[in-house]
Amino acid sequence: MQQKYNATQISKVIDQSLVYQCACPAQVCRTIFELRDLYDYQKNCANNTENDKNVHDAIADATEQAHAVMELCLDKVLEIEGWDINTLTMPDSLRKKPAKLL
């Protein structure tokens, strides 16, 4: 599966999003990770019959398409919010103090 963002880059976006209470980019990133896990599972699952192989291939193909869409979504979200695309750093305007723990 083609990947624009590596695991370290996605984790960096998630970490900043969670620290600064900006959950939307983190949700997109978590979905990308979940799609990668699903794709890997389908590609590595035992295929005992031709039917099994066809099922796994269909799921893997759909997952690959969904992954590409979500990476484009992440591009758009980061652009809209003004993230530094080279360093994947959240802009100061989005940084908020973390919520107090009760």
Provide the whole-model pTM. 0.86
pLDDT of 96: 66
Task: Tell me if 17 sits within 8 A of 90, measured CB to CB.
Answer: yes
* Span 73-89, pLDDT tens digits: 999 999 999 999 999 99
3-state secondary structure the chain: CCCCCCHHHHHHHHHHHHHCCCHHHHHHHHHHHHHHHHHHHHHHCCCCCHHHHHHHHHHHHHHHHHHHHHHHHHHHHHHHHCCECCCCECCHHHCCCCCCCC
Q: How confident is the model at residue 51 (pLDDT cuts 50, 70, 90)?
A: confident
